[in-house]
Each structure stands twice: as structure tokens, then as C-alpha cells.
Amino acid sequence: MSRAFPFIRPPRDVVRVGPWSRAVADGVEELPRELPDWDYETVLSLRRPVQVDGLRARRSSGLPDDAELDLTVRWGSSTCALRGRAWRAPVPPRDGAEIGIEFDLDGDQLGGVLELDTVLTLRRATDGASPAAARRPGSVLWNDRFSVLLQGDAVLFPLAIADFQDLPYPTGAGWFLEIGHDLEAAALGSILLLANERRKVVVDALAAAGSPSEADERVLSALRTDVQRALIEHALAHEDFSDDVEYPGGSLGALLAAVLRTTFPAFGVEGLRRERNADPILFTARIHDATDLLASS
Amino acid sequence: MTSVLYPRLLDHAARELHREYMDSTLEELQGRAAFHHRAAVFAATGGRRVTVDELQDLRERIVRAAEYAGYPGEGRRADRANFDLEVAKLLHQRSGLVAAEAAVRSIWAFLALVLLPDVSYWRYPRPPADRVMGTDITRHVWGRLWWRAHLLALPREADRYRLLDVFGEAAFDQIFARRRSLGGSRALVRALAETWPTIDRGGVNDRQLLRDVLKRLLRTSAVVEFEALDDDELRRQVAEAAAESVAVLAESEPLAGRRHAQDDA
């Protein structure tokens, strides 16, 4: 969604950003869109090269050459709905200034989708600015967002191993997906995959999800398809779920909408409800097809 | 920081316990307090599992704080407000929860319905389900307190919880309910708490004033990045928004409407 800014902003190309990257054990790698191995104890060491035309940014914003500008990175976490400043540096008044963004981000505030906003802001206006120029400190002159899905482990959700004898589910079921009903609640706090410790083949496959054998891969494929089926069924059976609603980022509603979009890009929610009711067996087969059930990798 | 993982009480069990506890006496609930439940599971995410000793210690401390506030008697309203502040500190300092884990509603259901059923139903007698089940953490008897402490704590100061009592419950709820838009910025919430006592209200009702200030800050946040500001500039902008609110509200509000100027914030 575009915002109307009540002040002049410079052209997009006054800031040129390189890719985000992260430090790993044997060097640096480009930051992927998903971090399957992330957990609360992970510290992300992030970097990004940036080139700013500091003088052009000022002049094309109607600001005098001695106005003070900052480049800031803001982090935001969908699960906790928290955000904060990760990094900030002043932008010198010259073109082609190279600025290296570099900071560590502790995992204890994060979860779900991590948003990294790179923002060029006014720190302090000085005399001689155009009447149409930004005046308020913090005014956003340029910004850019990068999102990373954290906690994307083999099955995407928090997992618990339990004895189904103790739970109200069939004792011999391999797994059960617990899903909340509040569509605006954080997805990762609303979904829990329970695996039955009585089904060793399932527990072993989940334990080996990082480097599965062929047999494990078959179990995981069945599990993934069934989890996706459960989410789709949950969305379609939930009377308040609709594709007219924009659910908050990282919420259960947003996740269900994303699963439906990815699995059935050509259908709306009502169309899918009709399809499922008219021919539930064919509908299930469509999910098998869309999720590549048991397709060899 | 290593997160301590708490058991997650599955929904069906939480619902059943709540149904049963609504008609239980305090004595019966005291007998139901426990450190584990058959339908409570640990998630296999990073961190270590909370021990029974830690759960016992947390329970004892919270029961002790409740006793200071009159438990098992009804106690005074002011004592319950102090109890909330005490427990907010306790939970935040001692539970070992990290924010991502504290956003999981089923851990709060475990605390309310398994570890502390007696104190939970004492604090909110015959509560609606969201007070104990965690369906809405902003309303949960314990979850909302952890989050209040988390958003207002000053980790670098000796008295790190000195801002906890700036806002009353209803006022903090206004901020917390806007968590996704404004309230998730700890810097902004702290700046608001630092500034709030210094604002010249001019007789304007606190609740209305806070609502209007939050509205102004939300509007400003569309074009200003608060996280880019230093603390003093952030406080200056909050004070400026508050002064604008006071000017507008004082103009529009009839004098008779200002009687409750200090009511609930």
C-alpha cells in the first residue's frame, strides 16, 4: 500500500542497496527468505552494503546541504508484534557514500516473519529548507523492506511429541494438528503439531528431518500433505474465514490465506468451499497433487 | 538468552478445566494446583524445559504476593492493583520466557489452569474464558502482566520496572490493544510512559487524552520512523502530540465532562 507523504521525497535511486547476507560458520551467505534452522537461541549476524547519494538525497528533498540524515534498520517480528532499532548511522552529505550495515540480532524477541526495514530519515532540519521539505525528525525519505520466515522447520510449526494415550485423540493416530480459532492470533502460537510417540516411524522421521533417509522422506511427505490438508479444511470450515479480510501479518488468518493461495492459486475461498462439498474425494486428490505427495525428490 | 519452555495446555483440556473450575470453591481449586497435566506438552523449539522446582518456586512466590493482597479473602481493589504489579515483575524476572514463547497462548492457559487455578480464579472470580484460556493474551490474567512488564521494562537501569505503575490497567490495555500498530515499539511505549506524568492535562479526561494521543502517534507513524529517533527526541514528539491533544480536547470538551480527569489512567 502506498502512503501519501506530506513532504518532498527524493527519487528511489538516491539509495542503492545490495543483498542482505548473514555470517555463517564458514563465511557469509546471502540471507534466504526462509531460515529453517532458526530458533530463539540463534543470533543472526546480518550485513548489507548500501550506497547513498547523500548530497542528491538532501537537495532533491528540498533540504539544505547541512541537514542531518540517518540510515536506520528497524526489525519487526510478526509472532510477538514487537519491533525495534537494529542499527543506525549518519549519512554524509556527499554522493556515492558507501555505508556497510552490520549488526547482530538476538533471537529472544523474534519469531514468525522477521521484517527488516532499511529507512533513510531526517535527523535534524536546518535553516534554508524548502517550505515543502520534511521538518519533523524521523521523517521517512526513503525505505525498503525485506522479510524472512523464521522457524520454518521441516513441518513449519512448533512440534511436540506426546503419548496419545494421554490425549483425547485416537491412540494409534500418527499425528494431530492442533489449530486455534482466533484468526487474528499469532499463527505460531495457535498451531501445534502433535506427533504420537507410539508411532516410532513418525517420531524417527521428524528427528531426521534435517537429513532424512528415503523412508523418512516418505513419512515426511505424507505428514506435510496431511498438515496442509488439515489447514485447508480448517480454513474452509471456519465460518469467519474469508478472502475479503486482510489478516495481520503472521496471524493464523494470514497463514491460512497463504496456504490456500499457494495450494490453489486459481480459486477463491467460496469456490473452494463449493468444490470440497461437491466432490470431497476429488478435492483431497487435488491437495495430494498440489503438495507433491510421495513425489520422489 | 536461553528461553525456558513451558508446557502448552491443549485447548480441549483448557476448556474442560475452565468449565469445571467456574463452579469450584477456592479450597477445591487449591487442591487442583499441579506442576504437570496429561494434556500439557512441550514444543520442540529452542530452549530448555522448565523444571518442577522452578514451577514450584514461581507458584510459591505468586501465592505469597496474593496473600499480601488479601488472598484468600477478597482484598481491596488497590491491593489487587499492587498484586498485578508485583506479579508482572515476578513473571518477567523469574519465568525465563522470551517474547516469542510468551506470545504462545497455550502456555498461559497452563499457568492459569494447572499451576495457579486458585489464584487465577481469586484474581478474577467467575472469569470469561479469555481471562484464563489465553485466547486473547491482552486479557489473560497472567499473560497481560508479563507483556506489560516486557514493554515497560528498562533493562539498562537499576530500577528497571519503575515505569510499571505509570498506567492503570485500562490505560495500558489501550496501548497493548494497539500492539501491532504502535504498542509493539518498546521505545515508543517507554517514551509515552516517561512523558505521561509530566503532561499538563488542562482538566482533560485521562482516558480520552490517551486515546487521542495514540491516534495522533499512529497517524504520525505513517510518515515518521520512531525507531530512528533518540530517546529525548522521541519523548519530545510524544509530548508535542499530547499538547496538541490537550488543546483540541480542552476546546471541544465541555467543562462538565472534565470531572473525571484522573479516573483510570
Same domain (yes/no): A134, A218:
no
pLDDT digits (tens, 9 = 90+) for A210-248: 778 999 999 999 999 999 999 999 999 999 999 888 887
Q: Which residues of A touch B187 (CB under 8 A)?
A: 84-85
Between CA A170 and CA A180 the distance in angstroms is 20
Q: Which residues of B touch A182 (CB under 8 A)?
A: 135-136
Same domain (yes/no): A23, A128:
yes
User: A153-163 burial, b if ≥16 CB within 10 A, otherwise e?
Assistant: bbbbbbbbbbe
Same domain (yes/no): A119, A241:
no
pLDDT for position A2: 57
Same domain (yes/no): A227, A133:
no
Closest residue on chain B to A7 (Cα): B223
Q: Which of B41, B47, B229 sits opposite A40 (nearest CB)?
A: B47
Cβ separation A138–B135 shorter than 8 A = no
pLDDT for position B138: 84
Residue A254 lies in a domain: yes
Specify burial of residue B197 (Cβ count, 10 A radius: 0-12, 13-18, 19+).
exposed
Kindly state the cell numbers that stand for A179.
489449530
pLDDT for position B9: 92
Cβ separation B44–A192 shorter than 8 A = no
Residue A176 lies in a domain: no
Q: Which of B11, B99, B220 sits opposite A180 (nearest CB)?
A: B11
Same domain (yes/no): A17, A146:
yes
Residue A2 lies in a domain: no
pLDDT for position A125: 83
Cβ separation A5–B223 shorter than 8 A = yes
* Furthest CA-CA distance within chain B: 60
Residue A250 or B111, more confident: B111
Residue A68 lies in a domain: yes
Q: Whole-number mean pLDDT of chain A? A: 90
**CATH code of the domain containing A137:** 2.60.40
Number of domains, chain A: 2
Q: What is the pLDDT confidence band of residue A42, given thresholds at 50, 70 and 90? A: confident
pLDDT digits (tens, 9 = 90+) for A124-183: 988 889 999 999 999 999 999 999 888 644 335 678 888 998 888 999 999 999 998 888
Same domain (yes/no): A28, A143:
yes
Q: Which residues of A touch B3 (CB under 8 A)?
A: 40-41, 108
Dihedral angle sign, alpha carbons of residues B12, A256, B100, B4: positive
Same domain (yes/no): A41, A131:
yes
**DSSP 8-state assignment for residue B2:** P
E strand or H helix that includes residue B110: helix B105-110
Dihedral angle sign, alpha carbons of residues A284, A287, A288, A293: negative
Same domain (yes/no): A21, A100:
yes
Residue B171 or A101, more confident: A101
Q: Which of A40, A166, A168 sits opposite B12 (nearest CB)?
A: A168
List the 212-241 stretch of A: residues with Cβ below 8 A of B.
none
Q: Which residues of A touch B44 (CB under 8 A)?
A: 158-161
Same domain (yes/no): A138, A208:
no
Closest-CA distance, B95 to chain A, in angstroms, reads: 14
A-B interface: how many C-beta pairs under 8 angstroms?
Answer: 154
Kindly state the cell numbers that stand for A107.
533471537
Q: What is the pLDDT confidence band of residue A1, given thresholds at 50, 70 and 90? A: very low
**Domain enclosing residue A286, as ranges:** 183-188+197-290
Residue A44 or A296, more confident: A44
pLDDT digits (tens, 9 = 90+) for A266-293: 889 999 999 999 999 999 999 999 988 9
Q: What is the C-alpha end-to-end distance of chain B, expressed in Å?
A: 34
Choosing among B4, B98, B176, which should be mutated to test the A contact, i.e. which has the most A CBs within 10 A?
B98
Q: Mean of the pLDDT values across residues A100-129?
A: 92
Residue A159 lies in a domain: no
A125–B contact, CB cutoff 8 A: no
Q: Mean of the pLDDT values across residues A49-55?
A: 98
Cβ separation B11–A85 shorter than 8 A = no
Quick check: A8 pLDDT over 70?
yes
Same domain (yes/no): A203, A146:
no
Q: Which residues of B touch A108 (CB under 8 A)?
A: 1, 3, 98-100
Cβ separation A109–B100 shorter than 8 A = yes
pLDDT for position A157: 67
Same domain (yes/no): A204, A140:
no
With a cut of 70, which residues of chain B have pLDDT below it?
A: 1-2, 45-46, 183, 253-265
With pLDDT > 90 as the criterion, what percentage of chain A qualifies?
62
Domain boundaries, chain B: 4-152, 169-258
List the 259-288 stretch of A: residues with Cβ below 8 A of B.
none
Closest-CA distance, B45 to chain A, in angstroms, reads: 6
Kindly state the cell numbers that stand for A21.
547476507
pLDDT for position B47: 76
Same domain (yes/no): A140, A23:
yes
pLDDT for position B256: 44
